[in-house]
Structure 1
Amino acid sequence: MATPPKTRPQARDLTSGPIGRTLLLFALPTLGANVLQSLNGSINAIWIGRLLGESALAATSNANLVMFLMFSLGFGFGMAATILVGQSMGARDIVGARRAFGTAMGLFTIVSVVIAVAGWLLAPHLLRLLSTPPAAQAFALAYLRVIFLALPPMFLGLMISMALRGTGDSITPFWFMILNVAIDAGLNPFFIRGFGPLPPLGIAGSAMTTLIANYVVLIGVTIYIYARNLPIRLRGSEWRFLLPDPALLRVIVVKGLPMGLQMLVMSFSALVMIGLVNRAGVETTAAYGVAQQLWTYVQMPAMAIGAAVSAMAAQNIGARRWDRVGRITTVGVAVNVAMTAAILLVIFVSDHATMALFVGRGSPAIPIAIHIQKIASWSFILFGITLVLFATVRANGAVFAPLLILAFGVFVARIAFAWALMPRFGTEVLWWSFPFGSSITAVMAVLYYRYGNWRARGLVGATIEAEAAQDQASADGEAGGRLNPAA
């Protein structure tokens, strides 16, 4: 087949080729971006803690909790839009993909600006609602208000990254995440302490670097998209797509809300669990904190593989390649099990040395943390299997069943199990609640994947067909309006 003209939008076709290789090439940049994002937060926390002290560090924890709650809903809406984009790309309907992307960007712009203004005004009330310690109140207010101003580019950058992944491009978000981390972490000490004519800004300076980094990345990725003529770029009459389409907006909200709630369910269950752990004393709490630090990295392969499976499944569902959807899921589960098991093996072999990085070699928390790891950590293999299965079913718009299964798994099979048996068996039951809850959730996820009705027409389906005539008319008048099938 002849090489397409340079003016034709470029996208990665995930509906053909070897599944394992394609999945890995897609997932590894996503994994790298997740690691960089976590490292960025850790580096910024180190700068704040070392330069401004514990009160400032506590302030960022309170402010970041508020932002996480905002991003949970933003992530859900972004996932719904990403799946719309992916299914449209799989159906070779590039105008439909741009329509979905435009609606999502219009929604994110409006919502992020409203939240930024409201957050600036209501920040003191939010911090009081969180019972922020008095010593951290002033720090938290200064930090949170600037972070709220950074919310619009954060939200829009998140949407662009997720939409690019929907088109099959996970490399571009990775490169711009590197740029984000370099600017944010690199400028932190200069803005906190001052440099040359720049006065010391304290904790507000740390938030200011986040704001600058996100605006630079947003502008940079926009320029890159148009310079490379990527599929999600909007031109001419397509700018009207930024006015949210009611039908697509309804899909994004109805499907995105349950996906955002899944993150909130996990966060709330983590708060309940830490409340139970706190009853066991400081050493056990410290040990659990060390385990959680390691679990952050143990979960990353599952998150990356889940994102890859979701994008690949969405495109293949759009292309009606159901034979590949099943194989994508199987390969995703196998790759995730292998990667998660490899990370766990490294942690188990070097457990004492790794944990000593957090609490010191002589800490009495280390033996407790090692014990927690041996009982609970392997459950993240089951968690990864569940995540991959959910990624596939969500790719066709089935979002309520995963939410209900997850809620049952963490609140009934894990929290209630620990709560009921803890008076009799002590803190030991807390660690066993992880494999117990994960096993129940994985079994329910497998049963739903195997026997549920999620394969029925879901997210795009009728929306694409109802608008096919209008999209076809637009596409016929535009060079490269429809993607040509891959060779």
Structure 2
Amino acid sequence: MEEPAAPHHGRPGQRDLTTGPIGSALLMFALPTLASNVLQSLNGSINAIWVGRFLGERALAATSNANIIMFLMFSAVFGFGMAATIIVGQSWGRRDVDAARRAFGSAIGLVLAASIVVAALGWTFAPEILAALATPAEAFQPALDYLRVIFLALPASMLLVLMFMGLRGTGDSVTPLWFMALCVVIDAGMNPLLIAGYGPFPRMGIAGSATATLIANIVALAALVAWIRWRDLPLRLKGAELRYILPSSALVRMILGKGLPIGAQMLVLSTSALAMVGLVNRNGIDTVAAYGIVQQLWGYVQMPAMAIGAAVSAMAAQNIGAGRWDRVTRITRSGLLYNVAITGVAVALVLTFDTAIIGLFIPITSPALPIAQDISLIATWGFIMFGGTMVLFGVVRANGAVWGPLAILTISMFPVRFGVAVALTPLLGPDALWWSFPAGSAVNVALAALYYRYGPWRAGKLLVPEEHCEERSRADIEPGGGLKPAT
């Protein structure tokens, strides 16, 4: 097997995140990720505009309920990908390319299998799930039509996200941007064609929007796989390396051990969101539609925090793998400062231009518009605190600490957020639901800061399966042995 080039040489879009100025490296890594996240949110917003304009508030409310459920399904398998990405980042930091490929291949196998199972269960039990959410009767059938097609897209969309995460773990945040753009162009472009049945396309209504998403994810995934192989990117699997998709028992234990708590964090978020949807649904179709629109706005507001958190996590993982603990604290500080500045600007823009932005989704005379403005004014600023949590959790997870963030998130979402929503509703009415968001975020970031400062996360070991260490040890003493880390 050929000896790879050092990870920081000759690869388009990649960055060595273990040397050089931290602030500029963090920003240059985060910007393509931010652009990718903005494109993803823009795609959802454009699709919501098509649905709202062509099919009205009833269909828009249906997609809002269905998208929350998809986030729940996504959460069930997302943790495996995040765990593998941490291993990829640490391996890349210590120049162990073979370990990165093993982790990447293992994640592909696990995520593919899990997403197929989840998609099948979701398709089967979609009516029961919507009923449990108290989905309004007038939105039930559109939501079911939309949701079942979206479930078919889950395996392709999960693998696409996984590959994006793996590439970022090696310092490449540019390649995911181009293929996210491809996915968005196809999805947004095909939405009106399949909803309204223009030209040779069938008129599918709300199911057409979901079908456009399905096609876009499959095409983008196939194109990305072809690109990785053609450009021979470091995480490509070929020849004997294809067996990495059937993971070893050690890697399975490691990915499951770290991935299940991370997935549980996502499940806490999504079940909290589902509980909130259940409360929102009891306030009528206009409030449901308004909440769905504001969620579109929040998608943009949280994108800087998500991008900075991903950049911080990738940088921290590589530096931990390289033994550069002196840089980890500085990475955290830079991430927090960037979050306040960039997320703060996003919040200010959304609150300043809320009428014009909300008016893109529904007519200016719609009764849902003032409700959406009220929700945005009360809750949007809390995403600055959310961003601080993303940075702190990103750093501690980079060293494999997953149980502390899970406990913190559980406390802030249920005893705090859901408790505030229920307890204050008799006093504030529907506004209690919106105030629960900044209340939960405040507790979340406070506990995350305490865990970062005093928690035991720094004592964690590098994520290297024992059997891989044994293989590497034999290779080091056997002439012509296995792949050695580049230096």
Q: Deviations over 1:198-236 (max 9, x none)?
A: 444444443332222222111111111111111111122
Shift of 1:277: 6.0
Query: 1:452 matched to which residue of 2?
Result: 455
Question: Are 1:249 and 2:252 matched, yes or no?
Answer: yes
CA deviations on 1:56-114 (whole Å, 9 max, x unpaired) are: 54544444343221111222211111111111101110000000011111112222333
Instruction: Specify the alignment match of 2:412 in structure 1.
Output: 409
Taking a change above 3 Å as real, the CA distance of residues 25 and 460 of structure 1, as seen in their structure-2 partners, is same
Q: Structure 1 residues 299, 61: closer, same or farther in 2, change over 3 A?
A: closer
Would you say the 8 A contact 1:49–1:57 is kept in 2? yes
Identity of aligned residues (%): 59
Q: Tell me the TM-score normalized by structure 2.
A: 0.86
Name the counterpart of 1:42: 45
**Matched position secondary structure for 1:377:** helix
Are the structure 2 counterparts of residues 151 and 275 from structure 1 closer, same or farther at C-alpha, using a change threshold of 3 Å?
closer
Candidates 4, 18, 22, aligned match of 1:19: 22
Partner of 1:167: 170
Q: Is this contact kept in 1: 2:29–2:173, CA < 8 A?
A: yes
Question: Distance between the aligned counterparts of 1:467 and 1:12, measured in 2?
Answer: 29
Q: Residue type matched to 1:440 in 2?
A: V
* Range moving further from structure 2, 4-13 or 139-148: 4-13
Instruction: Pick closer, same or farther for the CA change 1:475–1:155 going to 2, 3 Å.
Output: farther
For 1:368 and 1:203, locate their aligned partners in 2 and report how far apart those are by CA, in whole Å: 24
Q: Which residue, 152, 156, 177 being the options, matches 1:153?
A: 156
Retained in 2: the 8 A contact 1:95–1:474? Answer: no
Aligned AA (1:160):
M
Larger mean CA deviation between 43-52 and 357-366 belongs to: 357-366
- C-alpha root-mean-square deviation of aligned residues, in Å? 3.6
Report the equivalent of 2:350. 347
The alignment of Structure 1 onto Structure 2 pairs a total of residues equal to 483
Pair 50,459 (structure 1): closer, same or farther in 2 beyond 3 Å: farther
Correspondence 1:484 to 2:486: yes
**Counterpart in the other structure of 1:268:** 271
Read off the aligned partner of 1:80 and give its amino acid letter.
A
Tell me, yes or no, if the aligned pair for 1:20 and 1:331 is still in contact at 8 Å.
yes
Find the aligned partners of 1:210 and 1:371 in 2 and give their Cα distance. 31
- Contact map agreement 2:359 2:369 (CA 8 A) in 1: yes
1:94 alignment partner in structure 2: 97
1:333·1:388 contact (CA, 8 Å) conserved in 2?
Answer: yes
CA distance in 2 between partners of 1:49 and 1:365 (Å): 12
- CA gap 1:413/1:246 in 2 versus in 1, 3 angstroms: same
Give the C-alpha shift of residue 427 in structure 1: 5.9
Question: Contact 1:36–1:177 (CA<8 Å) still a contact in 2?
Answer: yes
Partners of 2:376 and 2:351 in 1: how far apart? 8
Cα distance in 2 between the residues matched to 1:279 and 1:135: 13
> C-alpha separation between the residues in 2 aligned to 1:244 and 1:135?
46
2:213 counterpart residue number: 210
SS in structure 2 at match of 1:455: helix
Q: Which residue matches 2:32?
A: 29
**Range moving further from structure 2, 323-332 or 271-280:** 271-280
Structure 1 segment 221-370 matched on structure 2, within 5 A: 221-273=224-276, 291-357=294-360
Deviation at 1:380, TM superposition (A): 2.0
| 1:387-436 residue CA offsets vs partner (Å, 9 max, x unmatched) | 10011001111111111111112222333244335545666655554444
Tell me if the contact between 1:306 and 1:391 (Cα under 8 Å) persists in the aligned partners. yes
Q: Which stretches in structure 2 are left out of the alignment for 5+ residues?
A: none
Instruction: State the alpha-carbon separation in 2 of the partners of residues 90 and 267 from structure 1.
Output: 32
Structure 2: how far apart are the matches of 1:176 and 1:443? 36
- Structure 1 residue runs of 5 or longer lacking an equivalent are none
Name 2:385's counterpart in structure 1: 382
TM-score, length basis structure 1: 0.86
> Retained in 1: the 8 A contact 2:48–2:361?
no
On the 8 A contact 2:13/2:174 being kept in 1, the answer is no
Distance, in Å, in 1 between the alignment partners of 2:8 and 2:393 is 38
Moved more, 119-128 or 282-291: 282-291
User: Which residue of the other structure, out of 172, 177, 180, is the alignment partner of 1:177?
Assistant: 180
Does the residue aligned with 2:459 lie in a helix, a strand or coil?
A: coil
For residues 126 and 143 of structure 1, the distance between their equivalents in structure 2, rounded to whole angstroms, comes to 13
For 2:118 and 2:428, locate their aligned partners in 1 and report how far apart those are by CA, in whole Å.
46
Q: How does 1:57-72 map to 2 (within 5 A)?
A: 57-72=60-75
After superposition, the Cα gap between the structure-2 partners of 1:4 and 1:346, relative to the gap in structure 1 and judged at 3 Å, is: closer
In structure 2, distance between residues paired with 1:475 and 1:149: 48
| Cα separation, partners in 2 of 1:252 and 1:117, compared to 1, 3 Å | same
Per-residue CA deviation, residues 237-286 of structure 1 (Å, 9 max, x unaligned), is: 21111112211112222211222222222233334445556777888777
Distance in 1 between the 2:317 and 2:444 partners? 23
Aligned to 1:110: 113
